[in-house]
Amino acid sequence: MPFSAIPTISDEVVALLLIGDQEPIDELEAIVLRTFPDALVDRASTASEARSWMARGAYHMMMSADRLSDGDGVSLLREAHKNDPSAVRVLLGGELSSELAAEAINSGKVYRILTPPYTHNLVERCIRNGLDWRQHGLAMSLLLKEQREVHLALAASLSALERTQRQMVHVERLATVGRLTSGIIHEVRNQLTGLMGVLDTIRYDGGPASETAKRGYDVVKRLVARISSIESFARGGGWAYDMVDVSAGEMLDQLHALYRLEVGEPGLLVAARPEVRETLFHLDSGKLAHAILSVVQEGHDRFNTSIKLRASLRSDDSLQLVFQASAAEKRPRVNLSAEDEAENPLRTVVKLIVDAHGGQLQELDPDPMREYARITLPCAALHQQVAEQAPDPQEDP
């Protein structure tokens, strides 16, 4: 509620509670009604009676004698402050000691101490100034609340800005790497193309080296094709894939080499049976190997331990890659915030690559001693079967 909408004493009926003996209370009530003819005035002669009135509703102002038949005014006003801090509290007393006056102000949060005689001008100024003081206090509280809300909104905006800035830096870093990669690949591809020419000449000579040259020619040809695909991707060629039938063993070996190069450890712990390594899968092994490596590196960050990769064939011959934190090393887990886990651009890229291969990326409950992610990919035969069963978009339904 803005400051201008806060009700003033002229906009609402003033409610007062007068507490004390009969004679001075009669005098005060008469002054109050002459000053504010529409005021609602309740009276109590004892502390218990005053508590009954306070339980029924709030008051703008409470005026209590310092001595009551069943208690004292300071204790009663202290209790009133706990129930309704916005009410103005006035202590009525005769000759108060300095200790009692200090206690009334400090613990009872008393706005003012009035001593007899209670003249009309004195009481009127006390009431008007007290109600104005109350309005200023309410306005200040409201402004502080609005300031806190603005501060929280600003903090949230700054946090979002920082996240956006980190993502922009990440994208710029990837773009820089792409430009550098494009230049390096151009030089390497030229050399490999020349090597292909040499091997092509040797393999048709029919000499003792022709068979070796033939195998070398096929290997270099595949390398040139993959390098061309990577160059296209690095130059912003989009999500173009060089999908070929590749054995799981070839893909795992490529992943093993990338792991050793990028992570810097001896090698990825991979468990795969011979029949798994021999099975063909229709995929872009280069992009998929980098995607799998991203999941492995995320496991390092999440669990602060080595990661095992288990490759197996399911009953439908699809390839299942299971990522598991190493049980041999029981170092404490690094707790990532929910915000960091939710906004992971690499995880988004991994999912896009896996989806393009007709596979699935499944998250499990993170536990250092258990699986935390799985990737499932269809084998070449299954992939071809799905493609053949897909309806032709050019045909009428």
Q: What does each C-alpha distance from 114 to 9, 104, 127, 136, 332 come to in angstroms?
A: 21, 12, 11, 22, 67
| Strand-by-strand arrangement of the 112-114 sheet | 40-44, 15-19, 61-65, 88-92, 112-114
How many CB atoms lie under 10 A from the CB of residue 392? 6
Q: What is the pTM of this model?
A: 0.39
| 318 CB-near residues (< 8 Å, 6+ apart) | 376, 377, 378, 379, 382
Q: What's the Rg (C-alpha) of the chain?
A: 41
Q: What is the predicted pLDDT for the residue at 373?
A: 84
> Of 307, 310, 347, nearest to 331 (Cα)?
307
Tell me the C-alpha distance between 291 and 161, whole Å: 28
Q: What is the predicted pLDDT for the residue at 311?
A: 92
Tell me the C-alpha distance between 214 and 204, whole Å: 8
Supply φ then ψ for residue 179, to 5 degrees: -65, -45
For residue 11, the Cα-to-chain-centroid distance in whole angstroms is: 45
Q: Which domains does the chain have, with CATH numbers?
A: 7-118 (3.40.50.2300), 241-389 (3.30.565.10)
Q: What is the predicted pLDDT for the residue at 18?
A: 92
Percent of the chain with pLDDT over 70: 71
Tell me the C-alpha distance between 202 and 213, whole Å: 6
> Of 306, 252, 307, 240, nearest to 279 (Cα)?
252
What does the CA dihedral 23, 24, 27, 31 come to, rounded to 10 degrees?
-160
Tens place of pLDDT for every residue, the chain, 397 residues? 333 333 444 446 789 999 988 778 888 888 888 888 888 899 998 999 999 998 888 899 998 888 888 888 888 888 888 888 888 988 887 666 566 666 666 665 788 888 888 888 888 888 888 888 888 888 888 888 888 888 888 888 888 777 777 767 666 666 666 666 666 776 777 777 778 778 777 877 777 778 788 778 777 777 776 666 666 655 554 556 778 888 888 888 888 777 776 666 666 788 899 999 888 888 887 788 878 888 887 777 777 777 888 999 988 888 999 888 775 444 444 444 544 544 555 667 778 788 888 888 887 755 545 677 889 998 865 444 444 444 443 444 3
